């Protein structure tokens, strides 16, 4: 019998284990709440991949149940004397080689078939987008419209889009779980993939190849929208930044142009023409900053400008030393770049 002390201790341990399990479950589930899932496909390629996943899971589940059933049978019905299955050779060859070979070859043929089917779109792509991976952001270039943006791409809903991928530094991987399989970005090489979203919305891209300390914070937004909206967006993005006349914005522009910002960033239509960081010509129109890590609000932008290292340690943007008034006017200017 357990002493009162022991039984109390066990109860407490059980309670503690229960608490940790609940915390773990909450963290796990809350993490999943807004995460893009391959099991909720929004495009034809992702739909085939989800189907592949369910077929493979079903086959594996059936095999698992049969093998466990046979194991249970062997354990429970073990009797002395010769087995009813003889010396078991036929069973071992059939169950251990022939049946697995049939299943594995079948699964392989099906998998290769799905891979081939999703490698090219059914109709020719209507738009080409070039993506260059950087530690840790995405450069997005529309070659036919000749403009660059960053960490956000807009595509027409229901139509295939060709994506050309390369990298400026290390290996990255372009992964929009709801739209398409992963594709690596390799140095000195251009890989191509395509995406299609069947429903309007915002689809997240994650870097799926470990690329350094901020690999986990290398995201991008794909905005799938109606053709008219896309056409308006493309036309707007092609334009240079507007000429500033408002005194506050003018002051902010002077602060920006007089700072180190211009060595890394481009604002088309101004003297800022740096190539190291994201093009800021239409920064104000973007959904996020810091490659998808934060919503594009003035508060986040202020924190980012003053000390991006506190928000995303290791990124290439150095801290800026600005007085309150300079910061205020520069933020107003950056926000005006819609």
Kindly tell me the burial class for residue 324, based on how many C-beta atoms sit within 10 Å of its own C-beta (0-12, 13-18, 19 or more).
Answer: exposed
> Residue 303 CB, nearest distance to ligand CUA (Å)?
23
Place of tokens 């419209």: 145
Min separation Cβ 72 and ligand CUA, Å: 44
Name which of 217 and 268 has its Cβ closer to ligand CUA.
Answer: 217
Q: Which is nearer to ligand CUA, 139 or 209 (CB)?
A: 209
Min CB(118)–ligand CUA separation in Å: 22
Residues from 199 through 218 that contact ligand CUA (CB under 6 A): 207, 209-211, 215, 218
Least distance CB 217 / ligand CUA (angstroms)? 9
Specify the residue, 180 or 237, whose C-beta has the smaller distance to ligand CUA: 180
- 153/211 with CB nearer ligand CUA: 211
- Which strand ranges, in their side-by-side order, compose the sheet holding 172-175? 152-156, 219-225, 201-207, 172-175, 183-185
Q: Establish if 133 lies at the interface with ligand CUA (CB under 6 A).
A: yes
Which CB atom, from 52 or from 220, has the smaller least distance to ligand CUA? 220
Minimum CB distance to ligand CUA, residue 293 (Å): 13
CA angle (170 as vertex; 165, 172 as ends), nearest 5 = 45
Phi, then psi, of 139 in degrees rounded to 5: -90, 130
Q: In the complex with ligand CUA, which residue's Cβ is closer, 157 or 317?
A: 317
3-state secondary structure of 157: coil
Rounded CA-CA distance 331/333 in Å is 5
Residue pair 296/336 in contact (Cβ under 8 Å)? The answer is: no
**Can you tell me the distance from the alpha carbon of 222 to that of 287, in angstroms, rounded to the nearest whole number?**
10
Residues in region 23-42 near ligand CUA by CB under 6 A: none
Q: What token pair was written down for 325?
A: 């008034």
Residues near 213 by beta carbon (within 8 Å), at least 6 away in sequence: 313, 314
Number of residues counted as binding ligand CUA (CB under 6 A): 9
Residues near ligand CUA, by CB under 6 A = 133, 136, 172, 207, 209-211, 215, 218
């Amino acid at each position: 019998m357990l002493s009162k002390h022991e039984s109390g201790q066990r109860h407490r341990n059980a309670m503690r284990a229960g608490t940790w399990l609940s915390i773990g479950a909450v963290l796990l589930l809350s993490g999943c709440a807004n995460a893009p899932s391959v099991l909720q496909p929004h495009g034809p390629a992702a739909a085939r991949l989800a189907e592949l996943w369910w077929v493979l899971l079903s086959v594996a589940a059936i095999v698992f149940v049969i093998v466990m059933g046979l194991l249970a049978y062997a354990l429970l019905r073990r009797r002395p004397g010769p087995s009813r299955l003889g010396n078991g050779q036929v069973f071992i060859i059939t169950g251990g080689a022939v049946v697995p070979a049939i299943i594995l070859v079948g699964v392989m043929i099906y998998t290769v078939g799905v891979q081939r089917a999703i490698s090219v779109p059914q109709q020719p792509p209507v738009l080409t987008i070039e993506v260059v991976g950087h530690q840790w952001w995405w450069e997005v270039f529309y070659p036919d419209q000749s403009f660059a943006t960053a960490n956000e791409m807009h595509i027409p809903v229901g139509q295939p889009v060709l994506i050309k991928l390369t990298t400026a530094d290390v290996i990255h991987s372009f992964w929009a779980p709801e739209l398409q399989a992963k594709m690596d970005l390799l140095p000195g090489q251009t890989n191509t993939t395509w995406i299609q979203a069947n429903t309007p919305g915002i689809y997240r891209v994650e870097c799926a190849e470990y690329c350094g300390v901020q690999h986990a914070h290398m995201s991008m937004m794909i905005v799938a929208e109606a053709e008219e909206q896309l056409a308006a967006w493309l036309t707007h993005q092609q334009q240079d930044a507007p000429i500033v006349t408002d005194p506050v914005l003018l002051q902010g522009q002077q602060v920006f142009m007089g700072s180190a910002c211009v060595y890394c960033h481009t604002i088309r239509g101004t003297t800022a023409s740096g190539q190291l960081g994201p093009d800021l010509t239409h920064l104000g129109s973007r959904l996020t900053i810091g490659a998808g890590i934060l919503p594009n609000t003035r508060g986040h932008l202020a924190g980012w400008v003053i000390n991006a290292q506190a928000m995303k340690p290791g990124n290439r943007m150095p801290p800026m030393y600005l007085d309150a008034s300079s910061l205020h006017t520069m933020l107003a200017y950056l926000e005006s770049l819609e």
